[in-house]
Amino acid sequence: MTQLNHEKFLKILARLLKNISCGNNQIDEIIKASQRNSIDDDDFLEWIEFDKLMNFKYISRGGIGEIYSAIWKDGPPKSVDIFDRLYNREGKCIIVVKYFKNNKEFFNELIKIYKMIVACSRASGLENLTRIYGVTRNDENENYGIVMKYLNSGSLEKYLEDNWEIITWKKKLGILKDTAHGLLKLHDAGLIHGDLHTRNIMISTNLYDQHPTGYIGDFGLCRTDESIDSKQLRNVIPYMAPELLSGEKYTKKADIYSFGLIMYQVATNTRPDRYRHYKRDLANDILNGRRPGFVRDLMPRCYENLMRNCWNNEKRSRPKTETLYAKFCEWEENYYELNSPFKNFRLQRIEPSGYCNGYV
């Protein structure tokens, strides 16, 4: 090997090692394991150097940290191949970084993300689940962050609020189909999401025809067992199944209950807790079988019936995830048929009557 080739080889090796290792053994092992277990070109994690990110813009702050958008200079790799990760990349793109205030919260979420990626990839894939690119660390404050795909229309809640006057039932059905599909991917892999609501569903809008696509995100409570502590969910009581408020374990059926409340919000553009300012009152309402009220002709009867089945007090009566996905596929596919129950529904924003006792 000539001196020139030797120097070139050392530069490539140095760049490769920098791309693989962050210096923290625990993180390195998780990243390497994700790459060893990779099946497709988008189901692995990598270490992303902080100097590869620029133009940070603050988005929001939560209980465990802060979220920023940024520009990733290199962009994601086109495959898991070790040399492709050096030279064959998608190029500059916008991403989102979720920074954590303490390392314990960060490691807990990183481990859950790793397990989710491996389990879903081995089962039926990662479609309609927010893509996680990898891990970075802020050189200024040494906080670790999760780097994920930027979805240009924000959360489902924000999308509904921003587009309510123009969003059609066709788009609503598509978003719910995507959400059901993402949930099916998790459930097929034996996973429970554990925190499903409209702020954890992200929307990407096609700039050409404004078609929205939904992705489930925030996998901090996602796991393979039923040992989710309901105390961790107190901030999202409106979406919590009654059995959780009674101290029962979390199951896939609790995710289905949450989906029913998402259906309500998509149909009404109204949060299910709008008229309940005190969590204790809201929890009692849920336990007593009360659900958000609404105008009866706001949605087709078939949609209303499915929504009610999802939020049934008896978890065994709630539909399976496969049933949800199949039904939304059918409704979306037949949307323009003459007998479609959705085609002629007016676009309107309602003022619901609050929580009503029993079925209304």
> Mean of the per-residue pLDDT values for the chain?
86
Instruction: Say yes or no: 140 and 284 in one domain.
Output: no
Q: Which of 121, 149, 177 is the last residue before a domain boundary?
A: 149
pTM for the predicted model, two decimal places: 0.88
Q: Six-digit token pair at 153?
A: 């229309």
Average pLDDT over residues 213-221: 93
| 187 residue type, one letter | H
- Residue 92 belongs to domain with CATH number: 3.30.200.20
Q: Is residue 348 part of a domain?
A: no
Is there a contact between 228 and 221 (Cβ–Cβ < 8 Å)? yes
CA distance linking residue 311 with residue 167, whole number of Å: 24
Q: Is residue 262 part of a domain?
A: yes
More confident residue, 119 or 85: 119
Give the model confidence (pLDDT) of 238-266 as tens digits: 899 999 888 888 899 999 999 999 999 99
Judged against a pLDDT cut of 70, whether residue 349 lies above it is answered with: no
Instruction: Say yes or no: 129 and 99 in one domain.
Output: yes
CA distance linking residue 89 with residue 72, whole number of Å: 11
Least confident of 22-26, 210-214, 244-248, 335-339: 22-26
Instruction: Say yes or no: 195 and 307 in one domain.
Output: yes
Helix (H) or strand (E) holding 265: helix 252-268
Q: Is residue 20 part of a domain?
A: yes
Q: Is residue 201 part of a domain?
A: yes
Q: Is residue 359 part of a domain?
A: no
Instruction: Say yes or no: 318 and 180 in one domain.
Output: yes
Average pLDDT over residues 41-58: 94
Range of the domain at 276: 154-334
Instruction: Say yes or no: 133 and 261 in one domain.
Output: no
Instruction: Say yes or no: 104 and 218 in one domain.
Output: no
Q: Is residue 286 part of a domain?
A: yes
Give the model confidence (pLDDT) of 265-287 as tens digits: 999 998 887 655 556 678 888 88
- Residue 199 belongs to domain with CATH number: 1.10.510.10
Instruction: Say yes or no: 141 and 161 in one domain.
Output: no
Instruction: Say yes or no: 301 and 161 in one domain.
Output: yes
Give me the residue label for tokens 């408020």.
245
Q: Is residue 345 part of a domain?
A: no
Instruction: Say yes or no: 169 and 313 in one domain.
Output: yes
Q: Is residue 317 part of a domain?
A: yes
Provide φ and ψ at 202, rounded to 5°. -105, 150
Q: Six-digit token pair at 254?
A: 């609790």
Give the model confidence (pLDDT) of 290-322 as tens digits: 888 877 778 999 999 999 999 999 999 999 999
Q: Which residues of 192-221 are buried (b: 16+ CB within 10 A; e: fewer)?
A: bbbbbbbbbbbbbbeeeeeebbbbbbbbbb
Instruction: Say yes or no: 172 and 89 in one domain.
Output: no
Instruction: Say yes or no: 194 and 106 in one domain.
Output: no
Given pLDDT bands bounded at 50, 70 and 90, which one contains residue 359?
A: very low
Number of domains within the chain: 2
Give the model confidence (pLDDT) of 153-200 as tens digits: 999 999 999 999 889 999 999 999 999 999 999 999 999 999 999 999
Instruction: Say yes or no: 169 and 283 in one domain.
Output: yes
